[in-house]
Amino acid sequence: MDESSLERIAEALLRSYDLDQAERPRLPTQEAIVGLLDDIRRILFPGYYSEENLPKASRRYHVGTWLCQLHKELARLVHRAIAHAGTNQNTEEIQIEAEGLASQFLEGLTDLREGLRLDAEAALAGDPAASTVEEIVLTYPGFLAITVHRIAHWLHEAQVPFIPRAMAEHAHTMTGIDIHPGATIGESFFIDHGTGVVIGETTTIGHGVKIYQGVTLGALSVERALAGSKRHPTLEDGVVIYAGATVLGGQTIIGQRAVVGGNVWLTDSVAANTTVLESRTSPDFRERNESLAPQAISD
């Protein structure tokens, strides 16, 4: 390609760019966010995700070094995300906020690890094919997805822009499990197999819930006016949802210890201790749009 052609293409690209947008503070890169996730997972479960050893004599030094590095990198990426999103704060104020959020996150690492231990134990109890907790932590895609979600959800609740969703989409790419960082998920959560699971933004899941591959916890509509409203279902404690089931709607509640069978379609609530083996749609849903069923919506 000759020089004049390159100049012409470059000029056309420059005209297509939103230069005002380009001149804003840089976003954190996807590569940096994935690296941050790797650092967090290394601290949570040393020996699983890297070749580094923790000799007893130098254990405290290694963990302390990891924490210092994590604090610095998390603060840096949060600073970039907040600055790019636009704020009335000056650079110094953003830096103070970012460092404070990074410190708060590190303070919660022990609780995060304990919560993930409960998730791993729930997987061991719920899957006869699993032999040890170590196997689950190392190999299970559902455990990877919930690990990333619990990190991303913390950042989402702290109102950090961009980073939580980037983390969630990385987990989605790695596992085929799509969990919006806004979803609220209780203790001892287990996703078995996992491929094709979708959990929407305003989903609420209680403790001890188990779901299988292909489950959708979605919304009935993607109207922009519904942003911020409760659009996705609630699963109470002890619910089990089998493969391919679809549960839609912000007013849909699956009661404690209910079981939803495979490929069931629900837009209506289910009472506690009930087993559902055939699809149910609320009268209001049928009246509004009988043709919506093949178009399950999750975002």
All structural domains of the chain, each given as residue ranges with its CATH number in brackets, are: 21-176 (1.10.3130.10), 183-299 (2.160.10.10)
SS3 of 179, please?
A: strand
Question: At a CB cut-off of 8 Å and minimum separation 6, what does 110 contact?
Answer: none
Report whether 199 contacts 217 (CB < 8 A): yes
The burial of 107, by beta-carbon neighbours within 10 Å (0-12 exposed, 13-18 middle, 19 or more buried), is given as exposed
Q: How far apart are CA 75 and CA 275, in angstroms?
A: 47
Report whether 27 contacts 84 (CB < 8 A): yes
Report the predicted TM-score, pTM, of the whole model to 2 decimal places.
0.89
Total count of residues recorded for the chain: 299
CB count within 10 Å of CB 223 equals 11
From first to last of its 299 residues, what are the pLDDT tens digits of the chain? 889 999 999 988 888 876 555 567 789 999 999 999 999 999 999 888 877 777 778 888 889 999 999 999 999 999 999 999 887 888 899 999 999 999 999 999 999 999 999 999 999 999 999 999 999 999 999 999 999 999 999 999 999 999 999 999 999 999 999 999 999 999 999 999 999 999 999 999 999 999 999 999 999 977 777 787 899 999 999 999 999 999 999 999 999 999 999 999 999 999 999 999 998 887 766 655 554 444 444 45
Q: How far apart are CA 247 and CA 238, in angstroms?
A: 16
